Amino acid sequence: MSEATEQNGKHFPEKQLWGREGFRDDPYIEAESLEVAGDAPAVILPLAAWLGLDDDVRRTSNRRIGVFVAPGESIDPLLDKLDTVPLIALQFPAFNDGRSYSKAEILKGRHGFKGELRAVGDVLVDQVVFMLRAGFDTLEVTNPVALKRLSASDLRDTPGYYQPGRGSAKTAGGFSWRRTPAA
């Protein structure tokens, strides 16, 4: 993520972290490696750097070490280590690159990932509901309209969904057609 934002030459001072209960402080910093992270208590490393850590370091470190995954990177190497990951940040380099939705579904739905699943990158208000339903816990937001709408809890959601899915208090727990058809 840090890599991507640096490459784009963008600087987002107003970057904020949002979860279902509202905006919250973000304890994590992004770093290329543990060495450059200083003594930050929570760090997000690129996938390769994270996988390069000793299992021991990951398990016994007194800081939280999360991992950043770009859409082109496979999550397969993470799957047997999920109990040692406190946070996975899945990237949306552009809002219309939907690969991270499938990864969220696989991580949360199939593998029961218990840590924080975070959406980073081009997070816009019109996709927030999809992200929550795909299993994201937190969203890293920079877009001004998204910030405004989220502050007002104005998501323009539909009152129910046709698919089962995480992330919605309103989900009745199944497909819409499982209800008795109207007479």
Partner 1 sequence: MYRYDEFDHAFVAARVEQFKDQVERRLSGELTEDQFKPLRLMNGVYLQLHAYMLRVAVPYGTLSGRQMRKLGHIARTYDRGYGHFTTRQNIQYNWPALADIPKILDELAEVEMHAMQTSGNCIRNVTADHFSGVAADEVADPRPFAEILRQWSSLHPEFSYLPRKFKIAVTGAEHDRAAIQTHDIGLHLKKNEAGELGFAVYVGGGQGRTPMVAKKIRDFLPAEDLLSYTTAIVRVYNLHGRRDNKYKARIKILVHETGVEELTRQIEAEWQALKESDLKLPQGDIDAIMTYFRPPVLPERPEGWGALAAAKKADAGFAAWVDQNVTPHKNPDYGVVTISLKPIGGIPGDASAEQMELVADIAEKYSQDEIRVSHEQNLVLPHVALADLHAVYELLLADGLATANAGLITDIIACPGLDYCALANARSIPVAQRISERFGAAERQAEIGELKIKISGCINACGHHHVGHIGILGVEKKGEELYQITLGGSADEITTVGEITGRGFSSEEVVDAIEKIVDTYLGLRTSKEENFLAAYRRVGAAPFKEALYGPVSRAA
Q: By CB under 8 A, name the binding residues for partner 1.
A: 95-99, 101-105, 110, 124, 126-127, 129-131, 133-134, 145, 156-165, 167, 174-182
Tokens of 156: 């323009």
Q: Which is nearer to partner 1, 52 or 160 (CB)?
A: 160
Q: Strands of the chain (E only): list them.
A: 16-19, 22-24, 29-30, 42-46, 64-69, 87-92, 116-121, 138-141
We find the least distance from the C-beta atom of residue 46 to partner 1, in angstroms, to be 20
Q: Which is nearer to partner 1, 9 or 159 (CB)?
A: 159
We find the least distance from the C-beta atom of residue 67 to partner 1, in angstroms, to be 18
We find the least distance from the C-beta atom of residue 30 to partner 1, in angstroms, to be 24
Range list of H helices, the chain: 2-7, 47-52, 55-60, 99-104, 128-134, 144-151
Q: Which is nearer to partner 1, 86 or 164 (CB)?
A: 164
Eight-state DSSP code of residue 133: H
Q: Which is nearer to partner 1, 8 or 33 (CB)?
A: 8
Say how far apart CA 145 and CA 131 lie, in whole Å: 17
